[in-house]
């Protein structure tokens, strides 16, 4: 799979993928590696005057309309650098299967689900989805669809909330310092508290 194909399923999250990246660095890489794309969108402008929206739309055009592989590879490289903690965590997990990750043809579904569960403790589902797609992690399409893809705002539902998080009506409300406030005192009680 090439870099342009990797971005295909990520079109709905494209703005999120670009959001953290340094626009000046993106433009500089494009200037050096793809003169025609640079001339089409950025020549004659200072990077700081273009604005994030215009650059994002230019990159979207290059990826999804022109299928520009060079721009896609630049974005994958810069995304991996920006999200290096997620990239390194994924790499460490995949290396538990085989030290040479390029030789892995398929990651079993049970291992993939374990990896996703572990990564969800520290990272956003959409970022994990982007990492899997952009780096061609060999999860099955079913696991990717069930656990990572889907509506942009959807998140996996936890089995049940932690016991200490459930408050019944009439229970004391925990104060910021850890002590409990009696019922009727607090932010929304109408009682301003001690004066």
> Among 145, 132, 149, which Cα is nearest to 76's?
132
What does the pLDDT profile of the chain (195 residues) look like in tens digits? 788 999 999 999 999 999 989 999 999 999 999 999 999 999 888 877 888 899 999 999 999 999 999 999 999 999 999 999 999 999 999 999 888 888 888 999 999 999 999 999 999 999 999 999 999 999 999 999 999 986 544 444 443 334 444 444 455 544 444 444 445 554 444 554 444
H or E segment at 81? helix 69-82
pTM: 0.73
According to the model, what pLDDT value does residue 102 have? 87
Torsion-angle region of residue 44: left (phi > 0), alpha (psi -120 to 50) or beta? left
Q: How many helices (H) and strands (E) does the chain have?
A: 11, 2
Q: How would you class 160 by CB atoms within 10 Å of its CB: exposed for 0-12, middle for 13-18, buried for 19 or more? A: exposed
């Amino acid at each position: 799979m090439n870099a342009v194909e990797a971005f295909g399923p990520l079109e709905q999250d494209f703005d999120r993928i670009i959001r953290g990246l340094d626009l000046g660095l993106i433009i500089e890489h494009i200037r050096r590696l793809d003169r025609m794309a640079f001339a089409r969108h950025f020549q004659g402008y200072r990077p700081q005057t273009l604005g994030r929206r215009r650059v994002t739309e230019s990159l979207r055009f290059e990826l999804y309309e022109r299928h520009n592989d060079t721009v896609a590879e630049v974005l994958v490289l810069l995304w991996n650098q920006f999200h290096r903690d997620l990239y390194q965590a994924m790499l460490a997990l995949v290396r538990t299967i085989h030290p040479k990750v390029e030789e892995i043809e398929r990651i079993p579904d049970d291992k993939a689900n374990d990896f996703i569960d572990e990564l969800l403790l520290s990272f956003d589902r959409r970022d994990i989805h982007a990492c899997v797609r952009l780096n061609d992690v060999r999860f099955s399409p079913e696991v990717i669809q069930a656990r990572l893809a889907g509506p942009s705002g959807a998140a996996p539902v936890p089995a049940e909330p932690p016991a200490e998080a459930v408050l019944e009506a009439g229970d004391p409300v925990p104060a910021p310092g850890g002590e409990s406030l009696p019922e009727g005192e607090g932010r929304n009680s109408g009682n301003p508290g001690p004066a």
